[in-house]
Amino acid sequence: MRSYLSDRMGAALLMAPLLLFLVLAYAWPFLGVVKWSFTLPTPGLGQYEALLTDDLVQSVFIRTLRIAAIVTIVSVCAAYAITVVWVRGTPAQRLIAEFCILVPFWISVLTRAFGWVALLSNRGLINTWLQAIGFISEPLALVRNEFGVIVGMTHFLIPFAVFPLASAMRSLDDRVLLAARGLGSSRMRTFWTVFVPMTRSGIIGSAMIVFVFSLGFFVTPAILGGGRSVMIAELIYLRIFQSPDWGLGAAISVVLVLFVGVLMAVLFRYVKPRQLI
């Protein structure tokens, strides 16, 4: 009992500086943003009213949600396949999977975005190759549009989707799978009716992480979207730095943070934080 208590005290003490840092570096300045949203350019709820009527803000919000949803589905599916190989494959397969997961982690988001431009543009590798084999006559519009944004974001987010899935798959009791097989279930049926449902918490956690991350993307849509796929972070940038219309920019930020907060609350109802790592 004594050691349990002192453990908790020790943990709290170790966590304290981090908590203090988060409050000072994020929460406190964010209160200033909240204040702007109610005071600039004139005090009142005007900026929140504008949010409901401004069609640029609305169309950008809808686009952001749509892109985030598509990116989430694609990333989680791809990550699921990679994670199965990583957790349950042969040693050689695991090595390849680790390589695929970790290498993108070490490359900057900017480099990766420009890499995709080089691959996907009109005279990029993919279009050149497709034209060379006679598959297409005109280059496909693969980048500087929403498609390019989705490809770039998915590529960035797959590693983040892998970890919650890996955690769920590792904590799965193998004997359950053996039991299913022993009772005559086929490999496919075991996978779909036993393995997948039992990793549900990993799927939810992974989807939530990817979705929340997607909402805040800035660089990738700015480069791969070609100005046509403005997402919410870039709209905030535009309002704060280009326009500069701080009140509305702040109001958009507050709504975004609230939205993410609600999502996280929902997530933690279904998934324990430790399952996410």
Residues near another protein (CB under 8 A): 55-56, 59-60, 63, 117-118, 121-124, 144, 222-223, 226-230, 235, 238, 240-246
Shortest distance in whole angstroms from residue 113 CB to another protein: 11
Q: Is the Cβ of residue 89 or residue 226 nearer to another protein in the bound state?
A: 226
Q: Is the Cβ of residue 35 or residue 189 nearer to another protein in the bound state?
A: 35
Q: Is the Cβ of residue 203 or residue 240 nearer to another protein in the bound state?
A: 240
Q: Is the Cβ of residue 100 or residue 238 nearer to another protein in the bound state?
A: 238
Q: How far apart are CA 24 and CA 18, in angstroms?
A: 10
Q: 3-state secondary structure string, the chain?
A: CHHHHHHHHHHHHHHHHHHHHHHHHHHHHHHHHHHHHHHCCCCCCHHHHHHHHCHHHHHHHHHHHHHHHHHHHHHHHHHHHHHHHHHHCCHHHHHHHHHHHHHHHCCCHHHHHHHHHHHHCCCCHHHHHHHHCCCCCCCCCCCCCHHHHHHHHHHHHHHHHHHHHHHHHHCCCHHHHHHHHHCCCCHHHHHHHHHHHHCHHHHHHHHHHHHHHHHCCCHHHHHHCCCCCCCHHHHHHHHHHHCCCHHHHHHHHHHHHHHHHHHHHHHHHHCCHHHHC
Shortest distance in whole angstroms from residue 71 CB to another protein: 18
Q: Is the Cβ of residue 213 or residue 246 nearer to another protein in the bound state?
A: 246
Shortest distance in whole angstroms from residue 139 CB to another protein: 9
Q: Is the Cβ of residue 142 or residue 210 nearer to another protein in the bound state?
A: 142
Shortest distance in whole angstroms from residue 88 CB to another protein: 42
Shortest distance in whole angstroms from residue 129 CB to another protein: 15
Shortest distance in whole angstroms from residue 215 CB to another protein: 17
